[in-house]
Structure 1
Amino acid sequence: MQGWKLDARLSDEGDLPVIADVDVLVVGGGAAGVAAATVAAEAGKSVVLVEKYGFCGGAAVAGMSATICGLYLATDRRSQPEQVVYGFTDRFRSRLAARGGLTKPQVYGKTWTSAHDPLMWRETADELLQQAGVRIFFHTAVTGVLMDGAVHRGVVVESNAGRAVIRAARTIDASGDAAVVARAGHRYVFGDNGKIQNPTMFFRVGNVDMDRFLDFYGDDTICPPKVTDAIVAARARHYDLPRQKIWIFQTTRPHELMVNATRLSGRDGRMLNVIDPVDFTEAEIVGREQVRQYARFLAEHVPGCENSYVVDTGVEAGIRQTRSIVGVDTLRNSDVLAARKRGDGICRVPWPIELHDGDRPKLHWLLDDYYEVPYLALVPESGENIIVAGRCLSAEHEALASARVTAQCFEYGHAAAVAAVMSLDDGTPFRKIDGGAVRAVMAANGSAF
């Protein structure tokens, strides 16, 4: 049986066992991490993926965001979705759909999104990673970094088996929280001068009379004004419903809905930063309490939901934003508003600026257009042999509120893996790699530009 005891070599850091010595280490098994590990391994590199849970999926699965957002253009003119993001994103989407784990596109305001089955998401990730030859360490958390001056050499990890070392020539921080970057002392920021988007607690309800529900609610997953009005009225009757604009999606299962309704802040009204375990704990507890309140509201006020019940909540609160790295380049708010295209762009983004920091989300639509994210927004301004993938990229606050969604995170992982392979093959530092060259390889892999 393979296990940590098989490798008796010792590190230079406290005589810890070295459990792997690889070309590429990927920290975090969300959308970005799954893409990064798969693409790097398929390019012939030895790859380890470290994930704190017993499954992949990150915010999409543990946080139960449960949709693949960011695939389609927003528009006022078209009645059918127009997909503009492909590459690894579409590869994963296709495999998930083939399992029966993805709905058809559902209307979301001026665009579309598809809901997925969290269990099938995990299974799709397992299949891709294993077929590529990735070595996976579930139930394992990064607790430290191995540095040679400014050069990353690996990480210290911990599990129930104890503490150990993974050595790596290149590290991809796909933790979502810039966990490796922060532990190495590289610079990062929290949102807009410390103000970040609210977390949420997603939940699913079952035993819904779908015909009656859709006849009342309509096809748009963003709630109609009559539902918002009913929420506001219910507050006066002592319901705890802090968010009045909610979103409800059909799932792949009959008679089931996935609900994005809660808004999590401290009981004293403060912003919760879930990097802090005290705030994270409060978010979890408050979130589950709010779920019961919104479920009660649905049962009492929304036709078709009279006999519904809560199936489950996310394993953790849904996290929209924590740390953002200070990168060599930064995605600016103005880049988003101007729908800027660029030769070093590694991902199209048609998703609106979607800010969650009040009683209703704020949406700024990018109609019939998209912008592109610069490659160097994935590269920290300091440190060698490290790149990030996922929502911790270097981006201004409003820009991140658009760029952080699942379809794009898959492509950030794709880009980070391509860059890691180039860096290993040529000995080129990440910050010296031409973003246009990364883009060209991604295009050859099926990404659209």
Structure 2
Amino acid sequence: MGNTGVDVRSVDGLQCDVLVTGGGAAGVATAVTASRQGLNVILLERYGFCGGGAVAGLSGTVCGMYLATDRAGAKPESIVTGFAKEFCDALEQRGGLAAPVRYGKTWTRVHDPLVWRDTADSLLEESGVKVIYHAVATGVLLDGNERLEGVTAWTKQGPLTIRARVTVDASGDADLVAMAGLDSFIGDGSRVQNPTMIFRLQGVDVARFIDAYGDDTIMGEAISALLRERQLAGDNLPRSKVWLFPTTRPGELLCNCTRITGSDGRELNPLFYDDFTEGELNGRKQVHAYAQFLKDYVSGCQNAYVNDTAVQVGVRQTRQVEGVSKLMNSDVVGARKFSDGIARSPWPIELHAGAKPKVEWVLDDYYEVPYGCFVPSRGEGLLVAGRCLSAEHEAVASARVTAQCFSYGHAIGHAATLAVRQGIEPRKVDPQAIRNALGREGAQL
């Protein structure tokens, strides 16, 4: 074979204090926080942009900021601050975050995924994080005693070895935990919540839409009844409870409608490559079916068209770490607080299965998530951040949302910093020291 003329250099290994795999909300918060403390931080991301489920999955909203309540005339009351607030403020300054909108008994905020990418890029660059896009971890480096010392990754240039004093698994799927052979579990007896293909509808008369359906983004029974009717008529509309959000862009709705199963009706688990692939294929088919329904039956959508779908099907739950602590379902509904709590959440339990999601509200209160939920039950040199935390099936259906993932990353960035600075394993870090650091940076606990 002749010389192609392409100069692909040999890939030298890298070393850092903290390596973060995955650039979603939790990964970005972890990397920025640790780098701001003066550490040498590398962020590894498989796409060419950050955002994870919020951007690649097009979830489109920052959920988990506000108390839920039944009080008449209540206004949005934000109780999640720290890095989550900083990122939201930066989004808002760039015109990429809408005002709070009703979401049942609480509120959420719709973001522009393109602005999300720019905001993350800016924060990472300003804080000095070395970002490696289009790279995926393919293995872990172990010292023989279950201590993680970094990862091997694949880049277009070739294989890359990255050694780190502390590694953070922010993959969403506990990928590094699995590669290291550490303890993990999957959903409720291996069943996980359905994936969703989210899409954006352009050409909408938004004023007419709001006038017809009000300000609650969870559509009411009239729309659900029509969906059930069309499903019985044979349309590909398996989910009857849908959520439609006006966005920061004129004439646009963010559509959280689909409920993706296998063609044979089975529940899909994106950890299996065949299921993940079928989820993408069936998800795009459902997008067209729901878009046609919206055009035919929903006021203001008669001239609408699909503007975009997510880069990938939205994944709510896959593999989770078995942690030193586990967030229990009773902790969520009981609004439990912990002495080692490093994040707070007011978000309801949202279980996505069947035709209608199950929602269980935490009213006028919040629960806390313990630090031990992010520390593997065994194995050293590793922390997790994001939705792969140690939590029961129903509990993670609340704890997985965006504002909380920002909060987890904020805390884990400080935990990694304390481990590096003190020369100790992450499990030995004093949770009170993490809480103190968070408090100094405006995170309320």
5+ residue gaps, structure 2: 1-6
Secondary structure in structure 1 of the residue aligned to 2:13 = strand
8 A contact 2:383–2:426 mirrored in 1: yes
2:277 corresponds in structure 1 to 281
1:111 corresponds in structure 2 to 106
C-alpha distance in 1, partners of 2:348/2:281? 30
1:67 corresponds in structure 2 to 61
8 A contact 1:69–1:351 mirrored in 2: yes
C-alpha distance in 2, partners of 1:64/1:117? 9
2:35 paired with 1:35: no
2:249 paired with 1:256: no
Letter in 1 for 2:329: N
C-alpha distance in 2, partners of 1:28/1:445? 23
* 1:299, distance to aligned residue in structure 2 (A): 0.2
8 A contact 1:191–1:397 mirrored in 2: yes
* 1:235, distance to aligned residue in structure 2 (A): 1.4
* 1:79, distance to aligned residue in structure 2 (A): 2.4
1:11 corresponds in structure 2 to none
Letter in 1 for 2:285: E
2:439 paired with 1:443: yes
Secondary structure in structure 1 of the residue aligned to 2:139 = strand
Secondary structure in structure 2 of the residue aligned to 1:63 = coil
Identity %: 54
1:76 corresponds in structure 2 to 70
Query: How big is each residue's C-alpha offset from its partner over 1:251-276, in whole Å with a ceiling of 9 and x where there is no partner?
Result: 10001000000001111111111111
Query: CA 1:18 to 1:186, structure 2 compared with 1: closer, same or farther past 3 Å?
Result: farther
1:102 corresponds in structure 2 to 97
C-alpha distance in 2, partners of 1:145/1:210? 49
2:18 paired with 1:24: yes
5+ residue gaps, structure 1: 9-16
C-alpha distance in 2, partners of 1:163/1:101? 36
C-alpha distance in 1, partners of 2:47/2:188? 30
Query: How big is each residue's C-alpha offset from its partner over 1:117-175, in whole Å with a ceiling of 9 and x where there is no partner?
Result: 00000000000000000001000000000110211111000022111201111101100
1:147 corresponds in structure 2 to 142
8 A contact 1:346–1:412 mirrored in 2: yes
8 A contact 1:200–1:318 mirrored in 2: yes
C-alpha distance in 2, partners of 1:86/1:156? 35
C-alpha distance in 1, partners of 2:324/2:367? 19
Secondary structure in structure 2 of the residue aligned to 1:192 = coil
C-alpha distance in 2, partners of 1:161/1:271? 38
2:48 paired with 1:54: yes
2:290 corresponds in structure 1 to 294
8 A contact 2:333–2:361 mirrored in 1: no
The normalised TM-score by structure 1 is: 0.96
C-alpha distance in 1, partners of 2:64/2:370? 17
2:219 paired with 1:223: yes
* 1:214, distance to aligned residue in structure 2 (A): 1.1
* 1:4, distance to aligned residue in structure 2 (A): 8.6
Superposed counterparts of 1:125-274, under 5 Å: 125-149=120-144, 150-274=146-270
Structure 1 range deviating more: 364-373 or 267-276: 267-276
The normalised TM-score by structure 2 is: 0.97
C-alpha distance in 1, partners of 2:130/2:272? 30
Secondary structure in structure 2 of the residue aligned to 1:131 = helix
C-alpha distance in 2, partners of 1:269/1:4? 46
Letter in 2 for 1:245: K
Letter in 2 for 1:57: G
Letter in 2 for 1:201: M
Query: CA 1:322 to 1:75, structure 2 compared with 1: closer, same or farther past 3 Å?
Result: same
Letter in 1 for 2:36: E
Secondary structure in structure 2 of the residue aligned to 1:200 = coil
Query: How big is each residue's C-alpha offset from its partner over 1:31-78, in whole Å with a ceiling of 9 and x where there is no partner?
Result: 000000000001000010000000000000000001000000000114
C-alpha distance in 2, partners of 1:164/1:278? 28
State the 4+ residue runs in structure 1 displaced beyond 6 angstroms: none
8 A contact 2:54–2:113 mirrored in 1: yes
Secondary structure in structure 2 of the residue aligned to 1:83 = coil
Secondary structure in structure 1 of the residue aligned to 2:228 = helix
Superposed counterparts of 1:355-394, under 5 Å: 355-394=351-390
Secondary structure in structure 2 of the residue aligned to 1:153 = strand
8 A contact 1:18–1:164 mirrored in 2: yes
Secondary structure in structure 2 of the residue aligned to 1:266 = coil
C-alpha distance in 1, partners of 2:210/2:368? 36
C-alpha distance in 2, partners of 1:142/1:132? 23
2:427 paired with 1:431: yes
* 1:433, distance to aligned residue in structure 2 (A): 1.5
Letter in 2 for 1:419: A
C-alpha distance in 1, partners of 2:339/2:110? 32
* 1:213, distance to aligned residue in structure 2 (A): 1.0
C-alpha distance in 2, partners of 1:135/1:433? 25
